[in-house]
Each structure stands twice: as structure tokens, then as C-alpha cells.
Structure 1
Amino acid sequence: MSLKKSFVFVSAFFCLDLYFGQETPIDTVYIFDNQMKKAKLFHEVTTLNASDIQKNSSNLSEVLRFQSPVYIKENGRGAVSSPSFRGTTAQQTAFVWNGININSQFLGQGDVNNIALFGYDQLEIKSGGGSVIYGSGAIGGSIHLNNELSFNKGFRGVIHSEYGSFDTYNNLTKASFSNDRFSFKVSGNYLISENNYEVEEENYINRNGKFYNATFNIGTSYRISRKNTVSWQSQWYDVVQNYPIFEDNGNRTKYESQTVRSLLAWDFNRTNISNSLKAAYTEENFQYFGIEKASKTSGGTGKNYIVKNDFNFYIIPKLNLNIIGEFQHNKGEGYQSGIGEVSRNVGSAAVLLRYFTSPKLSFEVGAKQDFVEEIDSPFLYSFSGKWSANKWYRLTMSFSKNFRFPSFNDLYWEQGGNLNLKPETSIQTDMTHEIKVLDFTLKVSPYYMKIDQMIRWLPTPFGYWSAFNTQEVEAYGLESQLMYQKKLDHHQLRLTAGYIYAKSTNLETQKQLMYVPLHKFSSNIDYEYDFVKIYAQGLFNGLTYTTSDESKKYAIYPYFVMNAGASATLAKKYTIGLRVNNITNTIYETVAYYFMPKRNYSVYASINF
């Protein structure tokens, strides 16, 4: 059974489990983020599997840009990158690794290109707020990096090697073994690129753009008994980014980062009670070099110790009580930032009640209180419902209050940190209409959001910048997706097309936020015949303001980019393929002055055994 089929199998059984109150089966797949299974019952989630991720193998930014509703602004290929989710900023997007929030304690966000791309079994993108479950920063949406462990699959392995334009080398090795009680998986990835592309029409050379990263993942699970399973998942990631410069004699800088993540879980399952106890450790180390070959200019180390318990009880077959408790101890130490040794304790208690009145109608109500040391945290809540009116129409809706508490930089940076900051809060609602006709599925999701007490860094009369609670943002828009899937004999065709409208306004100035395009359209087409696969991707990005006054002089004007690829699998084990990125040879940028590559290529080969 393939990874995708395994996931569908588990998901189907989980839905039956929620309605009839049966024990969650663990015979096929162990999923570390068990809350994501529940979220899919009430929220729209875009799921990308390993083969989807391979289509945009340069970095995570490329995957999200072409295959999700997220807008990605990137300072040139492989450089600093951040998301804009439903008209918000990077600080309002939560990155979640196997159910654990991994946003930086210093920045309060995740740099997309400093997060590993390979080593996951699924990448999932959830639109809308999720702070009741996933904590601080889950305001605009959340991006989930998930690992799974299968049982009774024997030995499997993959070796993948790729060469691309700009002296880019990408190598991946993955192996797994499992029987009825034990499962083990390990993977390693190495990616390096000189990244020395040119855009002659703009007199742009991506000087000093080299980047490198390496990832190692290991996971194991053991079923002690029919009801008890212990599991462990860890990741080590190392990255080096050289920041592009505009002149040959410019000052060459670079950034290095090392992250460690480790998660230990004990799961107990019986007919009407289940419990998942997790203990996690995450560490981030980063160094900035103002002169590439000199000593580091600044940096920091952050360490997080996390304990999380997720308890489920079926009061009656139609009523599910879910209690989630979490405690974190966050530690940080800066270098040349004025941040000494700082720490804080963060706790939370959440209760969710799910009621399934019938297979067609269900509701979820959630409440949560966070306890952040020396921060007055708001009371959070959420409500979601789903109504399957008939075979061709389904309605889901949600309403929630979400938040983000200040980061270490916001509080302690010298000069400019502000110990009196309040958490950002948001109120949001959305509604998804799903219509199915023949092999077509159309989803239309209007949404509204208001963010209060947004934390911004502003200039002061004393000559330095400081953090303040100032901005109020109102965001509304539309996310839509059309899907078509057809299989006939040896032919398979899949089409996904999405349109996004995002109006995000600073209520003080009544202007659109920077780097929030009003319009975004993306499409992905996959065709498969026997041993041959072909795909194409298209992306249209509308007018994007790069200044706070909506100046069209400095705006990024609309552009269209298209990618394509083809592969052939021989003897069911050997795959060779070719990718062509930016077929249209479009001149475009996602951040002002930092142009992206024109047409470029890559070839690859894989062995499955």
C-alpha cells in the first residue's frame, strides 16, 4: 500500500472512530501529530505528499509558492524567506513539526529557507487560526511538517540524486523497516548550490548567493502491547546562506544555523479512551557574519523543553471530550544583541468538545487559557461545524480567537526591546462551500480577520527602533480551489487550480499591507500513463506593494511563471526525470530588487528498493 493510500485508509477509519467511538487503529500507520486528523474533519487542509514536494526540490519556499495559498517573499533564490498567509505576516504563521510549534523564540517566526524540505512524509497547510491547539502565532494559518511510521511493511529504501542549473547538487537517501511491532525509518539529505544566476535585462547578478543545507531524520516506534505504543522522532539540520550583494566589491556576508528537534511519545488506546503523552526538546543556534570569513558578528542560542498531554474520552458514541495540557520552558542567550541569559515558562490548558449529531452534521467547541510568564495572556476560544447537506454539497464554518505573545527579541533586544508589550490577538471567521459534480470538486472559502495589538518595530525620538503594540489590521478575502481527478485504464489525470483574493488593511492608514498581493492564481496538472508521468505548474501573482503608502512606483507588478517536468519509471524501481523551471523565462521578483532565476533546468535519477 502506498503512502497516500495508507493515509486515506487511516483517515477513513478515524472518521468512523469519531462517530462510533471505536478504538483508533494503529495497525497501519503511526502519526505523530494526532490532532491534525481531527482538524481535517472541521477545517480545510492542503496535503502534499513526498512526490508533490519533489516537484519543487530547491527549497520549501518553492513548494509553498506553487502548491499552496501562501505568498512567499524571498530575497533571491534560497535566501531569507517568509510567508504571508491570508494577508498576515510571517509572525502570524505557525510552523508545526509533528504537532510541536517550532517558531523561533527570538524572532517569533520561521524563516522558510531555514526549515528542512526533505525527510517528511507529508507537508500540510491549514488556513485560518489554530491557537487553541497549536499555540502562539497560529493566526493567519499554520504549516505542518509531519512524519509517519508504518507497520508490517518490511524493508524499503530510496536513493535520489539530482543536478541542476547554477551548480546545484541535491541528494537524498531514505530507508525504513517494519514488522507487526517495530518500525524504523531514517533519511538524510544534502543540498548545495553556487546559485550564481543572472538576469541580464535588469543588470542583476546574484553575487554571493551560495547556499548549503544538510538534514538527518530518524524515527522509530514500538508497540509494547495492543494498547500501548512508544515512539521517537528526531531531526538535525544545518544550513549556510550567503546573502546576495549588488556590487562586486560589496561586503560579503553569510548566515549559519543549526537546529535540533527530538520528540518522544507514549500513546495509549482503548475503546473509548486514548491518551498521547509527548516530551520534546528543540534547539536553535544561529550566527551572522558581517564579514564572511571573519568571526561572527551576532547570534544566539534558544532551547525549549516541552511536555504535552492529549487526552480523549468518548462520553457517549457521539460526544468526544478532548483535554490538552502543555508546559514549556524556553531559554535563550544572545550574542552582541544585548540579550543575556533569558528564560520563561509557558503553560496552557485547552478543552475541546466534539458532537456528532449524525454522519451529516457535527460540531466542535474549544476553549484555552495560556499562562505565559510575565505576560497577561488572553482567553482563547474556537467553534467549528460541518454540514453535509447531500452528496454534492458540504458546508464547514469556523470562528476563533487566536494570539501571539512577544518574542525574546521583542522583549529584550538592546536597544529597543519593550517589556511592557501585550500579546497580539485576532478574531476571525471563515466558511467553506464544497460542491462536487461528477469528477469535479469546487471549494470556495470567504474569510474575515481582525488583528489587534500588532507588534511593530518603529523609530523613536532617541535614534533607535523599538517594539510597540500599535497596528490594527483588518483582513478579508477569498480562497478557492477547483479539483478534477480521472482514471481510465492506464491513464490518470489530476488537476488542481486555486485563486486567492486577499485584502489586508492597516486601519490607521487605510492602506494595503506590504507584500500582500491582492490576487494569486496557481494551478498544477499531473498526467500519468503506465510508467510515464508529466506535470506542469503555473503561478500568477497580482500587483504587490513593497511600501506602506501603496506606491505603484516601487510595487512588484503582476507576473506569470510556469514550471514543467517529466519522468519515466523502469522495472518499477528506476526513475529518471527532467524539470524545467520558469519555462516562460519570466523576469520577476518576490522582494524588491532581488530577482529570481530565469529559465533553469534539473535532471534526476532515483532507485526504489
Structure 2
Amino acid sequence: MTKTDLFSAAFLLFSFWGFAQEKTIDTVYIFDNQLNSSKKVLKISKLEQADLLKNSTNLSEVLRFQSPIYIKENGRGMVSSPSFRGTTAQQTAFIWNGINVNSQFLGQGDINNLNLLGYDNLQVKSGGGSVIYGSSAIGGTIHLNNELTFNKGFHNSLFAEYGSFKTLNTFLKSSYSDEKISVKVSGNYVESENDYEVPEKNYINLNGQYRSKTFNLGFGYKINQKNTVSWQTQLYSGIQHYPVFSEYATKTKYLTNNFRSLASWDFKSMKVQNILRLAFLEEEFQYFAYIDRPKSSGGTGKSYIAKNDFNYVFNDKIALNLIAEYQLNKAEGYQSGIKDVSRNAGSFAGLLRWIPNQKFYFEIGAKKDFVEKIESPFIYSFSGKFKATDWYSAVFNFSKNFRYPSFNDLYWKPGGNLNLKSEVSHQAELGNNFAHKGFKLNLTPYYMRIENMIRWLPTSVGIASPINTSKVESYGLESQLDFEKTFGKNKAKISAGYVFTHSKDLETNQFLTYVPKYKIFGNASYGYDFAEIFLQGMYNGLTFTTSDEKLSSAIQPYFVMNAGLNFTVLKIYCLGFKVNNVFDEIYETTAYFPLPKRNYSANLFINF
């Protein structure tokens, strides 16, 4: 059976779902259990489904307007990568239900090939996390989370949106649960001609169309009060036609297929919790240098993962967490020199959590990775929290994190380098949290130093090759103010962030490319009874695009605002209208690829 057949069969499942009145939530099963502990000492922003729907175009838009991350996007819906605290895309880890899903080929995730709708929430964690989440968790981690609820009955939701540039976005989710069983199924289909114009730049987004489809299935079963088994799986298929600058230029395209499956057994008693996870990840890509001819290059990567997370509570003050993981990574490339390679990797980690009293919390972690044919460092983390008063608390974090070379870094021909070392980072941060009535303010200065950074550079024989060369120093400030208030039929919510980033290559004393020094983002909404209005704003400062800090090539500062209206009818229907780029700003996040000027969308969301 082909993946197309699997998608067709999957969507047919929706026809068997019925409707019933909701019940009170009994239990929520969370696949990524470590996130709850991390919230005590790390800055984590959580975006629920309502937040995601405000930027339903793609994940890039969500992160651009609702997080401190800079998103480098080669045109709307195209290749997109993050810069987190002045780091590169390879130094951000994407975590799907507790499992690192960065590409084995590239060592990073393409944001626009990670579907947006189909997750119950998205969480953005600033700072290093390699002790728990492994390679690439240096600048931060982006968590794509699914949850299963028990004893809730039937619940269904449908989202349909149509917008400028012939953009269609549809999503359907249905779930059923009782005291023992929980099942959730969802599907998402997106397509766009994406043929926008920016006359001031003499730019038409030619050959920019894209489409994708995703299917998610989750299942949980409570064996008894102590044991729960669960399964989460995802199928994704996407195609992107890369923009060209002339109708006479050669048109290209890129196809992606991903399959992810995760089985989990959770045992929980008064003293012991143990979670055993078994996962299989498959990534496949095909690049067509001529869209009407056979593929020019491609590859298939497979990862087999076993991970055990054991937690023992000695008393109400001390708990010990032991994490063991094994991975077998395999890859086979086409026209890349990667014939048939494999890699064994394993790790052991321990975390000790201590709560001496109501004012203090401490956590110390250590980890050793064993990666075949690659030297990996001993890493650690040390965190603490001090609650000084009801309105102020401080947290500190020190950690050593790493990234080991990807398959492309090692085996690509010509140019791959088998002698690469792992990148290593040391970092520290001090978070200051203030709370008063409905206001919350976070101020987090940080410092980071990265050694052995892997960079592809020209060689004397005229080809590019990766080498451990750079030492990067990054420091700055992340801050965010949140306010939420409900009174009668009125509900107001405001969230605003200011980010300062200073990130330099210490060997050249030049700023890193695509790292703006300043970013400001804000979201505000006001609702009364059945109506809601929301605004979004984002400012990015000057952004260098070349390593020599050439001002003529830099992206100039810009400010973009979005606005939207939502109306709820008969409690289950929500009609929405949105204006993107209200002020018709001309801007780009990657040189030579402007993003759309003012554009519109309308949507219908049904919750039943």
C-alpha cells in the first residue's frame, strides 16, 4: 500500500465518528512528561489551539508573531529555519511528543514541513536541553505535543479557511474516550497557488505553489490505575515548488514524506513512575532540478528508538530521574554519495530534584552520550528556583549542551568530513519572574559560548566541506509581559515580548547572519460575549545577510501588523476574518525573497 493509499484510508475513518454530549475531563495523558518538570526552572511559552489558529497559514507565522525566535523563510510556505538566541537552525531541536525529530541528513527541521494543525498545543522552551532532549538542543527546543483525555465522550472539530493567493486550509479532528479507552484522529490538508506580487521589489512569486496533507492517530488504554499504554502516529506528505525570479528560469520542486510512530507504556505508583517508549521515524525527500524530469537527488532515513524514563520519589523533598536511550539511525541517499550508512547511538542521563522547602527548588543533571565513530562530550545541567515573595521569583540555569554531525556533514560527496567533532556549548541564564494580579513579567538575561561549530566552507580544491572552525559568543535578553483578565462577559489578553541578541563569530569578530539585534512582538485580544477582536505586531531590527556585515545587503528594519475578528454563533460555530500585513509593509526574512503585502483570509471553525 502506498502512502497516498494510507492517507485515503485514514480520512475515511472520519465517517464512522458520531456525536455525543461532553463529559467532565477525568485524566489527561501527556506524552512529553519532562516538560512539566522543566517549567519550574526554564522559560516555556505554551500556545494552545486558539493561539495556533490566529496564524493558521503555517508554523513559521506562529513562531514569527508569537515567540522570540527569528524565522528565516525563503518566501511564504517555502524552506524555513529558526534562529534561537543567536544560534543556527541545526542548534534548535524539534521535539514531537518527547522524541527529537530533527532530520538525520540535515541535523535540523524545516518548519514548513512540520504540519501546524494536528497538535493539541505547541511549546517553545528557551535555553539548552541536551541532557533530556539530546543533540541540537542548544539554543532552545520547539515542542509539538499531542494529548489524550479519558472519560470525555465524543468531541469533534472542523476548521476550514480560504485566503488570498488561492490558499485553502482544512482540518478535521475527532475523539472519543471513556474510563478505559481514548482515541483521537485528525487530518489536515493545505494548498496554495501562492502567486503573490510585490511590485515595489519588481517581484512575482513564480513557481511558489505548495500543498501538504497530514494524518494523526492517537490511542490510549488504561489497563488499571497504575498502567497505561498509548500509541501516537503521524503521516505527512508535502510538495513545495521553489520560487524563481523569471518565467524563463528553470523550475524546481521538493517532495517530503514523513512517518512517525510512538508506542508508550506508563507505570505509575506512589513512589515510582516508569515510561518505556518505542519509536520509529522515517523521513524521505526528493529534489527535482527540473520539475518535469526524474528526481535529481533524494534520500530516505530511518530511526529506531528505545527510551526508558524512570523516576523514583524518595519523599516529598527528593526525587531521582534516570533516562536511558538507544537509537539506530540508517540512511540511504540518491545522487549524494550517501550509499547505505548507519549509526548506533546511546545515552545515560540522571537528574536529581530537591525541594528543601517552599521557597527553593534545585535540579542537577548529567549525561553521557555514546555515538558510533563520533566523540561526544560529557554534559550537565544545574538549575534552581528561589521564590522570594508572592510577586517575585528568580531562576538560574547553567548547562553544557552539544550537537553531533549529521549524515550530510559526514558522508556527502563531494565534501563530507569523517573527522568532525561534536559542537559544544556552555551557557548560563538568570530568569526574573514578577507577578501582580493579572500581570506576569519575565526578564531573562543569558550568555552562551559555542565551540567547534560546524560550517561548510570553500576548500583549496574548489568544493565546500564542513569543518570545526568557529567559536561563537551570544548574549542578550529575553523578556515577556503577559496580562489576562475576565470580568463578566468581557475577556482581555495581552502578551508582548522584547528580545535583544548579540551573537558574534569570535574568530572574525563579525555578527552572525540572519540574527537581528532586536525583535519586538505582541499579541492582544479583547472579547465580549460572542465577539472577539485581536491584533498582532512584530518588529525586527537590522539583519545582516552576509558574514562581512555589508549594510547594502542587510535586511532593513520592518514592522508588520495583523488583525482579525471572530464571531461565535450558537456556541459551536465560529466565523473568522483576518487581515495580514495591515499596513502593506514591504519586508523579507531572507534576502531576495519578499513576503506578501496585505492579504486576507476567512475561516469557519465548528466545535461539536
Distance 2:436 2:141 in 1: 30
Say whether the 8 Å CA contact 2:278–2:306 is kept in structure 1: yes
Say whether the 8 Å CA contact 2:577–2:603 is kept in structure 1: yes
> Shift of the alpha carbon at 1:41?
1.4
> Shift of the alpha carbon at 1:301?
0.2
In the alignment, is residue 276 of structure 1 matched against residue 275 of structure 2? yes
User: SS of 1:410's equivalent?
Assistant: helix
Say whether the 8 Å CA contact 2:26–2:152 is kept in structure 1: no
Structure 1 unaligned segments of length 5 or more: list them. Answer: 1-25
Partner in structure 2 of residue 375 of structure 1:
374
User: SS of 1:86's equivalent?
Assistant: coil
After the TM superposition, which residues 534-553 of structure 1 pair with which residues of structure 2 at under 5 Å, given as runs? 534-553=533-552
Partner in structure 1 of residue 327 of structure 2:
328
Distance 1:606 1:114 in 2: 24
> Shift of the alpha carbon at 1:438?
2.8
Distance 1:408 1:534 in 2: 47
User: SS of 2:206's equivalent?
Assistant: coil
Partner in structure 1 of residue 56 of structure 2:
57
Distance 1:79 1:362 in 2: 43
Distance 2:316 2:594 in 1: 56
Partner in structure 2 of residue 491 of structure 1:
490
Q: Which amino acid aligns with 1:552?
A: L
Partner in structure 2 of residue 365 of structure 1:
364
After the TM superposition, which residues 123-522 of structure 1 pair with which residues of structure 2 at under 5 Å, given as runs? 123-522=122-521
Q: Which amino acid aligns with 2:260?
A: R
Distance 2:160 2:481 in 1: 33
Distance 2:157 2:371 in 1: 44
Q: Which amino acid aligns with 1:248?
A: E
Say whether the 8 Å CA contact 2:164–2:599 is kept in structure 1: yes
Distance 1:415 1:93 in 2: 26
Partner in structure 1 of residue 96 of structure 2:
97
Partner in structure 2 of residue 9 of structure 1:
none
Distance 1:591 1:485 in 2: 35
Q: Which amino acid aligns with 1:352?
A: L
> Shift of the alpha carbon at 1:359?
2.0
Alpha-carbon displacement from aligned partner over 1:210-254 (angstroms, at most 9, x marks no partner): 010101000010000000000000000000000000001000000
Distance 2:128 2:255 in 1: 31
User: SS of 2:86's equivalent?
Assistant: coil
Partner in structure 1 of residue 21 of structure 2:
none
Distance 2:502 2:38 in 1: 26
Alpha-carbon displacement from aligned partner over 1:161-194 (angstroms, at most 9, x marks no partner): 1100000001100000001111000000000000
Distance 1:388 1:213 in 2: 46
> Shift of the alpha carbon at 1:27?
4.3
Partner in structure 2 of residue 530 of structure 1:
529
User: SS of 1:399's equivalent?
Assistant: strand
Q: Which amino acid aligns with 1:123?
A: L
In the alignment, is residue 604 of structure 1 matched against residue 593 of structure 2? no
Distance 2:489 2:26 in 1: 31
Q: Which amino acid aligns with 1:214?
A: K
Partner in structure 2 of residue 29 of structure 1:
28
User: SS of 2:390's equivalent?
Assistant: coil
Distance 1:387 1:490 in 2: 37
User: SS of 2:37's equivalent?
Assistant: helix
Partner in structure 2 of residue 579 of structure 1:
578
Distance 2:32 2:437 in 1: 33
Distance 1:485 1:131 in 2: 33
In the alignment, is residue 39 of structure 1 matched against residue 51 of structure 2? no
Distance 1:106 1:438 in 2: 48
Alpha-carbon displacement from aligned partner over 1:126-160 (angstroms, at most 9, x marks no partner): 00000000000000000000000001110000111
Partner in structure 1 of residue 10 of structure 2:
none
User: SS of 1:357's equivalent?
Assistant: coil
User: SS of 2:356's equivalent?
Assistant: strand
User: SS of 2:552's equivalent?
Assistant: coil
TM-score scaled by structure 1? Answer: 0.95
> Shift of the alpha carbon at 1:61?
0.4
Distance 1:363 1:129 in 2: 17
Distance 1:274 1:231 in 2: 15
Distance 1:264 1:533 in 2: 40
Distance 1:175 1:114 in 2: 23
Partner in structure 1 of residue 5 of structure 2:
none
Distance 1:530 1:491 in 2: 7
Partner in structure 1 of residue 561 of structure 2:
562
In the alignment, is residue 74 of structure 1 matched against residue 73 of structure 2? yes
Distance 2:401 2:171 in 1: 38
User: SS of 1:422's equivalent?
Assistant: coil
Partner in structure 2 of residue 595 of structure 1:
594
Distance 1:387 1:530 in 2: 40
> Shift of the alpha carbon at 1:278?
0.3
> Shift of the alpha carbon at 1:105?
0.3
Cα 1:326–1:27 change in 2 (3 A) is farther
Distance 1:111 1:367 in 2: 30
Q: Which amino acid aligns with 2:443?
A: V
Alpha-carbon displacement from aligned partner over 1:396-433 (angstroms, at most 9, x marks no partner): 11000000000000000011100000000000001110
> Shift of the alpha carbon at 1:269?
0.3
Moved runs in structure 1, 4+ residues, more than 3 A? none
Distance 2:267 2:26 in 1: 14
Distance 1:58 1:489 in 2: 33
User: SS of 1:285's equivalent?
Assistant: strand
> Shift of the alpha carbon at 1:439?
2.0
Distance 2:359 2:237 in 1: 47
Q: Which amino acid aligns with 1:499?
A: Y
**Which shows bigger deviation, 511-520 or 430-439?**
430-439
Q: Which amino acid aligns with 2:79?
A: V
RMSD: 0.7
In the alignment, is residue 122 of structure 1 matched against residue 121 of structure 2? yes
> Shift of the alpha carbon at 1:437?
2.4
Report the number of matched residues. Answer: 584
Distance 2:233 2:395 in 1: 35
Partner in structure 1 of residue 6 of structure 2:
none
Distance 2:533 2:308 in 1: 44
User: SS of 1:66's equivalent?
Assistant: helix
Q: Which amino acid aligns with 2:159?
A: H
Distance 2:543 2:474 in 1: 15
Distance 2:219 2:358 in 1: 35
Q: Which amino acid aligns with 1:537?
A: Q
User: SS of 2:553's equivalent?
Assistant: coil
> Shift of the alpha carbon at 1:79?
0.5
Distance 2:301 2:420 in 1: 21
Distance 2:356 2:532 in 1: 43
User: SS of 1:572's equivalent?
Assistant: coil
> Shift of the alpha carbon at 1:337?
0.3
Partner in structure 1 of residue 12 of structure 2:
none
Partner in structure 2 of residue 18 of structure 1:
none
Partner in structure 2 of residue 6 of structure 1:
none
Distance 2:410 2:502 in 1: 30
Q: Which amino acid aligns with 2:315?
A: I
